[in-house]
Amino acid sequence: MKHKRITMKEIAEEAGVAKSTVSRYFNDGYVKEETREKIRKIIEAHDYEPSAAASNLKAKETKTIGIIAPTINSNTSSRLLTSINAYLKEKGYTVILIDTDHDINDEIRSIQYFESLRVDGIILVATNINLIHQKLVHESQIPILIVAQHFKNGVSIIYDDYRAGYAAGEYAAKMGHENVLFLGVNRVDEAVGVQRRKGVLEALEEYGVPKIHMRETDFSFSKTRKVIRHYLEDHHPTMIIAATDNLALACYKEIAEKGLRVPEDISLIGFGGYEVSELITPSLCTYRFDYELAGKMAGATILSLIKGDPVATTQVIGFRKIEGGSVQDRRKKGEAK
């Protein structure tokens, strides 16, 4: 063991990291496990003891958090972002937001941009996680939290889309619906497009619903109305389960325009629990995630990551059913309990 006294700068050089990382190490700030181990070994080898001054020398904080979101023009996204913002503002942080407009390349540029601003932490509201994200998050010296999609190699907060989907499918089956359309969105969106859909379809199958159809749309009213109009021309479902409340609202309109009634002719279930879904008549039966809670948890979690406090790698946000009046009970008499 060499007994040469080594400086923070030399530790940083030997570990191949920035001096600020070494400083964070000494101040119990966020340092990736792998880097932490490297620094620990160098210190051991050199028998380094930090001076009191050095250990008080905090890594420079900017008190700024960067958020990257795919859109701000959606009910659920707006509510989540508003909640994150309120939480972090209260804690004294400046929150800056980049809206990528669903452009994945822009997400990557935005991570790099926030790194150049030396924000203290980054929250990425994702629609999809690919290899580049994994590499970037792995290499970043700034803590990154992923929200809305599951992230195997890091920390994420997710909505329980599979189980919410399953609950909706199960409810439709138990209410005696035998001819059900699931109206989904593109599968590029892993959470809504894949997990929610999977939950609905598996429940419908497991409960032996004889007729299960599936149509795909995007998140827009106009496309959705066209898809539903076309579908209703030669199909007669008793239930439509729509992947979001917005899609369900488009169904209301098309059902009304065909002279049919909700729920007497066609029942409807959505996901989201938008305030407006309560205001239509009959109000929509919908499965609601707690976006306000998700926002607070995201805020608390990024602060924990920055401080180096322990956090769960995956935190799951639950849901609840909002009854509404849009589902008809079609169970035969005697079948109902």
Binding stretches for its own copies (CB under 8 A): 71-74, 78-79, 81-82, 85-86, 89, 94-99, 101, 103, 106, 109-110, 113, 117, 221, 249-250, 252-253, 256, 275-276, 278-281
Closer residue to its own copies, CB minimum distance, 21 or 246: 246
Cβ atoms of 128 and 189 closer than 8 Å: yes
Closer residue to its own copies, CB minimum distance, 22 or 255: 255
The distance of closest approach from Cβ of residue 135 to its own copies in the complex, given in angstroms and rounded to an integer, is: 21
Closer residue to its own copies, CB minimum distance, 84 or 137: 84
**Spatial CA neighbour of 317 closest among 255, 277, 271:** 271
DSSP secondary structure of 158-213: EE-HHHHHHHHHHHHHHTT--EEEEEEE-TTSIIIIIIIHHHHHHHHHHTT-SEEE
Closer residue to its own copies, CB minimum distance, 101 or 329: 101
The distance of closest approach from Cβ of residue 308 to its own copies in the complex, given in angstroms and rounded to an integer, is: 26
Residue 232 dihedral angles phi and psi, to the nearest 5°? -70, -15
Closer residue to its own copies, CB minimum distance, 131 or 279: 279
Closer residue to its own copies, CB minimum distance, 6 or 104: 104
The distance of closest approach from Cβ of residue 118 to its own copies in the complex, given in angstroms and rounded to an integer, is: 11
Token pair listed for 67:
């958020």
Cβ atoms of 175 and 325 closer than 8 Å: no
Cβ atoms of 164 and 200 closer than 8 Å: no
The distance of closest approach from Cβ of residue 292 to its own copies in the complex, given in angstroms and rounded to an integer, is: 11
Q: What CA–CA distance (Å, rounded) separates 274 from 267?
A: 18
Cβ atoms of 333 and 296 closer than 8 Å: no
The distance of closest approach from Cβ of residue 69 to its own copies in the complex, given in angstroms and rounded to an integer, is: 9
The distance of closest approach from Cβ of residue 113 to its own copies in the complex, given in angstroms and rounded to an integer, is: 6
Sorted by sequence, the CB contacts under 8 Å of residue 37 that are 6+ apart come out as none
Alpha carbon 241 to its chain's center: 21
